[in-house]
């Protein structure tokens, strides 16, 4: 196993002058349109025949709708069920994709992903601890923090895992991929075992909650939940653009990034805290949704290159769109029941991940 | 001016560099030579702040320890021995990273054209759109040099000289490109900047260096002009092999002819 691996095949895309920024801007524009369309589709489709178009039309005309009972029901479904769900999907899709891109830049490796290397497992452990022990051992914590207890615990769990991983896998400024993946595996296993112990002591009602929560779902979206995790995710996402040039420089190695004037230690800690916050908040509300963080940045690097100034916003847009799409599938494929969205992203994402591995087998040296 | 006093570096329990004094002046090319494992790269990494050291390094009148990365980056640029990349950047994207600090020293608005000019200087015209990972080792090294040149394009900024630290800049290059790169270093010094380069080729060192620091087992064995330092006795002792140093005509730039090992 090599200590340091390179990755990324030579992309098939090739701008003759080496400047891909114009292409990147066009892609970002197209992704914005795609996200707007996804939002619209998600608002209008679902198990009920409630129509966002009808709601919007009523709202625009300001007149009295022909069927007031139907209009009221539609409004309820669109405003209180679909809108928070769509908003949550956008936030979480963006958070997971951007976190993946930032992690990959930080670890200098295209295979780093919060779900794959145990960060999500750490967040899960924190969250499950609150769900199961929130009324007993951890009662003072939940009392003191209220609805913030769950996202905060998830954040701390994710943060602990990321810091541990970084300490284990990085030596002399170089992060070993093999060590990172294997350590991530071990830490994830440990976190899952501890989670298992908590599940073991959980009562029946908690068990059902836990099972569905762990599979991942946007189903529980409510406005209060968005009020809790939304600001955390938005704040984390808002810091990421400031890291983009530093992450680009980090691709040349930590020492060279430092020589270019990047405050490397601060960059690393900001990135780790930001990713842990974003992933922790996401896991707290929607459970484990895998593969968005690895698939989205990878696809985009093929299209627009690895420049983080474009990669991060593009990842946010594509991640949000893809998660809405996955949620639409989850809501409709077995309607009126609902598939956990984590299953949808895993079914689509895992084969894609294998494809990346096969494609880069000659290039990535684990 | 770079003034380093009593520099020692230990990695783990092993002391790699012991009590070395080092000076590099603007307007000069300063070479560091010595056999493998003599501590050349470690000394360079101490001088650039990459490794922690005991002693003091004064860069343009200020203690290196007190400088933030962004400040140090305006005073000097560093070319490492080799650079592996984790993502498929194009050559242009790599060279542009040299402009991150925004202190290239050209007029505002001219920054955008610097990467192309830097690539032309290292004889990589037309390489901007190529992928870095597809290039040969020598080409990659020249791309990195172009990036480094962008960072400190003006050898003097706001009245202060700037420095190029080059760790074996020509080791993987053919002879033509060795000369091109050494001429770039020479030119940077002629225009008021300073160059600190680790070199292996003693003849190239004799041709281009104004001052030579010879390291042996982590200690300074000699320092001075090529004429002072390059003599049979010292070089044979430090490099542990038989060499003949000559000069044609006598007193001019010396040349070194290897004869046999030990």
How does DSSP assign B194-236, residue by residue? Answer: EEEEE---HHHHHHH-SEEEEEETTEEEEEE-HHHH--HHHHH
C-alpha distances in angstroms, A255 versus A3, A173, A174, A265, A272? 17, 7, 10, 11, 19
CA distance B112 to chain A (A): 11
Q: How confident is the model at residue A150 (pLDDT cuts 50, 70, 90)?
A: confident
**DSSP code for A263:** -
Whether A336 has a pLDDT exceeding 90, the answer reads no
CA distance B74 to chain A (A): 8
Cα distance between residue B69 and residue B53, in whole Å: 17
Rounded Cα–Cα distance for residues A216 and B105 (Å): 53
Whether chain B has a CB inside 8 Å of the CB on A307: the answer is yes
Residue B146's pLDDT is: 97
Chosen from A172, A258, A261, A262 to mutate, greatest number of chain B CBs within 10 A: A261
List chain A residues with CB under 8 Å of B80: 253, 255-256
Contact residues for B116 (Cβ-Cβ < 8 A; gap 6+): B128
Q: Per the structure block, which two tokens stand in for B89?
A: 């950047």
- Say what the pLDDT of residue A360 is: 67
Is A263 in Cβ contact with B88 (below 8 Å)?
Answer: no
Condensed to tens digits (0 to 9), the pLDDT of residues B1-59 reads 999 999 999 988 899 999 999 999 999 999 999 999 999 999 999 999 999 999 999 99
Write the DSSP string, A16-44: TTS--HHHHHHHHHHHHHHHHHHHHHHHH
Report whether pLDDT(A1) > 70: no
- The chain-wide mean pLDDT, for chain A, equals 83
Q: Residue A343 pairs with which residues in a beta bridge?
A: none
Q: What's the mean pLDDT in B154-163?
A: 95
CB B189 within 8 A of CB B35: no
Range of the domain at A312: 24-359
Question: What are the CA-CA distances from residue A92 to residues A6, A155, B37, B231 (Å)?
Answer: 29, 14, 51, 69
Contact between B84 and A264 using a beta-carbon 8 Å cutoff = no
A18 within some domain: no
In SS3 terms, A89-140 reads as HHHHHHHHHHHHHHHHHHCCCCCCCCCCCCHHHHHHHHHHHHHHHCCCCCHH
- Which of A14, A110, A305 lies at the smallest CB-CB distance from B89? A305
Q: CB of B119 within 8 A of CB of B146?
A: yes
State mean pLDDT over B83-87.
Answer: 88
Q: How far is CA B68 from CA A258, B28, B65, B97, B159, in A?
A: 10, 26, 8, 19, 20
Give phi and psi for B256, each to the nearest 5: -120, 125
pLDDT value at A364 more than 70? no
User: Mean of the pLDDT values across residues A263-272?
Assistant: 88
Does the distance separating the beta carbons of B74 and A7 come in below 8 Å? no
Residue A190 domain-assigned (yes or no): yes
pLDDT value, residue A7: 37
Q: Which of A244, A292, A251, A296 is nearest to A270 (CA)?
A: A244
Question: What DSSP assignment string belongs to A261-300?
Answer: T--HHHHHHHHHHHHHHHHHHHHHHH----SHHHHHHHHH
Examine residue A237 and state whether it is found in any structural domain, yes or no. Answer: yes
pLDDT, residue A173, reads 60
- Domains located in chain B, CATH noted: 2-261 (3.40.50.300)
Of A122-131, A149-158, B89-98, B122-131, the one with minimum mean pLDDT is A149-158
Report DSSP state, residue A11. P
Q: Which of B86, B114, B149, B163 to mutate to test the interface with A (most CBs of A within 10 A)?
A: B86
Q: Is B18 helix (H, G, I), strand (E, B) or coil?
A: strand
Cross-chain CB nearest to B131 (options A5, A10, A261): A10
Q: How far does the CA of residue B182 sit from the closest CA of chain A (Å)?
A: 22
pLDDT for the residue A142: 78
Q: Using CA atoms, how far apart are residues A128 and A125, in angstroms rounded to an integer?
A: 5
Question: Residue A241 to residues A39, A107, A244, B30: CA-CA distances in angstroms?
Answer: 24, 17, 5, 40
CB distance A215 to A342 below 8 Å: yes
ipTM (interface pTM): 0.93
Closest chain A CA to residue B49: A259
The answer to the question of residue A280 being in a domain is yes
Q: What is the total count of domains within chain A?
A: 1
**CA gap A71, A68 in Å, rounded:** 5
Local confidence band at A65 (pLDDT 50, 70, 90 cut-offs) = low
Residue range A346-360: mean pLDDT, rounded: 83
Banded model confidence at residue A47, pLDDT cuts 50, 70, 90: low
Mean pLDDT of A47-58: 69
Q: For residue A364, tell me if it sits in a domain.
A: no
Residue A136 placed within a domain = yes
List, in sequence order, every residue forming a beta bridge with B29; answer none if it has no partner: B195
Q: Is A227 within the bounds of a domain? A: yes
Q: In Å, how far is B198's CA from the nearest CA of chain A?
A: 17
What is the distance between the alpha carbons of residues B91 and B144, in angstroms, rounded to a whole number? 9
Q: How confident is the model at residue A16 (pLDDT cuts 50, 70, 90)?
A: low
Q: How confident is the model at residue A175 (pLDDT cuts 50, 70, 90)?
A: low
Is residue A6 very low, low, confident or very high in pLDDT (cuts 50, 70, 90)? Answer: very low
> What is the C-alpha separation between A240 and A116, in angstroms, rounded?
21
A256 contacts in B (CB within 8 Å)?
Answer: 78, 80, 83
Alpha carbon of residue A29 to chain centroid = 21
Residue A3, pLDDT above cutoff 80: no
A320 touches A94 (CB < 8 A): yes
Q: Does the pLDDT value for residue A96 go beyond 80?
A: yes
Does A122 fall in a domain?
Answer: yes
What is the enclosing helix (H) or strand (E) of B49? none
- Residue A236 is part of a domain; what is its CATH number? 1.10.3470.10
Highest mean pLDDT among A161-170, A267-276, B26-35, B253-262: B26-35
Cβ contact A264–B69 (<8 Å): yes
Pairing of strands B160-161, B163-167: unpaired
pLDDT of residue A362: 56
Nearest CA in chain A to B98: A260
SS3 B76: strand
- The reported pLDDT for the residue numbered A11 is 39
Q: Point out the residue among B49, B80, B86 whose CB comes nearest to the CB of A7.
A: B86
What would the pLDDT profile of A19-41 be if each residue is shown by its tens digit? 999 999 999 999 999 999 999 98
Return the structure tokens found at B150: 């962008």
Tell me how far apart the alpha carbons of residues A289 and A220 are, in angstroms, rounded to a whole number: 14
- Mean pLDDT, chain B, whole residue set: 93
Among candidates B84, B100, B128 on the partner chain, residue whose Cβ is nearest the Cβ of A6: B84
- Is A259 close to B48, i.e. CB distance below 8 A? yes
Phi/psi of residue B58, nearest 5 degrees: -105, 120
pTM of the shown model:
0.87
Which of B88, B99, B118 to probe by mutation at the A interface, max A CB count within 10 Å? Answer: B88
pLDDT tens string A179-238: 877 888 899 999 989 988 998 888 888 887 787 777 777 877 888 888 888 998 999 999
Nearest CA distance, B119 vs chain A (angstrom) = 12
What is the predicted pLDDT for the residue at B74? 95
Beta carbons of B88 and A4 less than 8 Å apart: no
Tell how far CA B6 is from the center of its chain. Answer: 21
């Amino acid at each position: 196993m090599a200590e340091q691996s390179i990755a990324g095949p030579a992309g098939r895309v090739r701008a003759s002058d080496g400047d891909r920024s114009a292409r990147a801007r066009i892609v970002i524009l197209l992704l914005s349109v795609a996200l707007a369309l996804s939002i619209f589709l998600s608002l209008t489709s679902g198990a009920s025949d409630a129509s966002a178009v009808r709601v919007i039309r009523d709202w625009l005309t300001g007149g009295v709708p022909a069927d007031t009972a139907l209009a009221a029901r539609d409004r309820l479904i669109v405003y209180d069920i679909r809108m928070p769900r769509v908003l949550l999907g956008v936030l979480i899709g963006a958070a997971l994709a951007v976190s993946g891109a930032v992690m990959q830049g930080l670890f200098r490796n295209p295979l780093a992903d919060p779900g794959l290397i145990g960060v999500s497992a750490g967040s899960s452990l924190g969250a499950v601890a609150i769900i199961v022990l929130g009324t007993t051992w951890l009662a003072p914590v939940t009392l003191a923090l209220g609805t913030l207890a769950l996202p905060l615990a998830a954040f701390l769990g994710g943060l602990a895992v990321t810091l541990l991983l970084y300490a284990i896998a990085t030596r002399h400024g170089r992060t070993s991929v093999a060590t990172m993946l294997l350590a991530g595996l071990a830490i994830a296993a440990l976190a899952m075992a501890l989670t298992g112990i908590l599940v073991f002591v959980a009562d029946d009602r908690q068990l059902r909650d836990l099972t569905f929560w762990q599979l991942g779902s946007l189903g529980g979206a409510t406005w209060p939940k968005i009020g809790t995790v939304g600001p955390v995710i938005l704040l984390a996402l808002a810091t990421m653009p400031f890291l983009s040039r530093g992450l680009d420089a980090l691709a040349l190695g930590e020492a060279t990034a430092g020589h270019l004037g990047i405050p490397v230690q601060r960059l690393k800690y900001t990135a780790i805290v930001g990713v842990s916050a974003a992933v922790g908040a996401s896991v707290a509300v929607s459970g484990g949704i895998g593969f968005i963080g690895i698939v989205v940045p990878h696809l985009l690097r093929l299209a627009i290159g690895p420049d983080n100034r474009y990669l991060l916003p593009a990842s946010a847009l594509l991640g949000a769109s893809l998660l809405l799409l996955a949620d639409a599938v989850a809501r409709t494929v077995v309607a009126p029941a609902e598939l956990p969205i984590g299953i949808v992203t895993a079914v689509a994402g895992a084969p894609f991940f294998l494809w990346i591995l096969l494609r880069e087998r000659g290039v990535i040296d684990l | 001016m770079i003034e380093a006093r009593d520099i020692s570096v230990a990695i783990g329990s092993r002391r790699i560099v012991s009590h070395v004094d080092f000076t590099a002046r603007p307007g000069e090319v300063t070479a560091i030579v010595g056999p493998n494992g003599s501590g050349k790269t470690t000394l360079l990494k101490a001088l650039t702040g990459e490794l922690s050291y005991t002693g003091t390094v004064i860069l343009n009148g200020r203690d290196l320890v007190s400088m933030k990365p962004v400040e140090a980056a305006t005073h000097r640029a560093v070319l490492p021995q080799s650079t592996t990349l984790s993502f498929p950047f194009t050559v242009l994207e790599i060279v542009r990273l040299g402009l991150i600090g925004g202190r290239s020293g050209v007029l505002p608005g001219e920054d955008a054209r610097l990467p192309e000019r830097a690539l032309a200087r290292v004889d990589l015209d037309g390489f901007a759109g190529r992928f870095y990972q597809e290039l040969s080792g020598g080409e990659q090294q020249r791309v990195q040099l172009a990036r480094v040149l962008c960072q400190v394009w003006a050898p003097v900024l706001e009245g202060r000289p700037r420095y190029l630290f080059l760790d074996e800049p020509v080791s993987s290059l053919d002879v033509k490109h060795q000369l091109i790169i050494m001429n770039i270093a020479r030119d940077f010094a002629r225009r008021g900047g300073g160059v600190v380069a680790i070199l292996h080729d003693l003849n190239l060192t004799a041709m281009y260096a104004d001052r030579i620091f010879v390291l042996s087992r982590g200690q300074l064995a000699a320092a001075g002009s090529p004429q002072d330092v390059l003599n049979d006795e010292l070089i044979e002792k430090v490099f542990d092999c038989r060499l003949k140093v000559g000069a044609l005509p006598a007193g001019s730039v010396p040349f070194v002819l290897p004869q046999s090992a030990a």
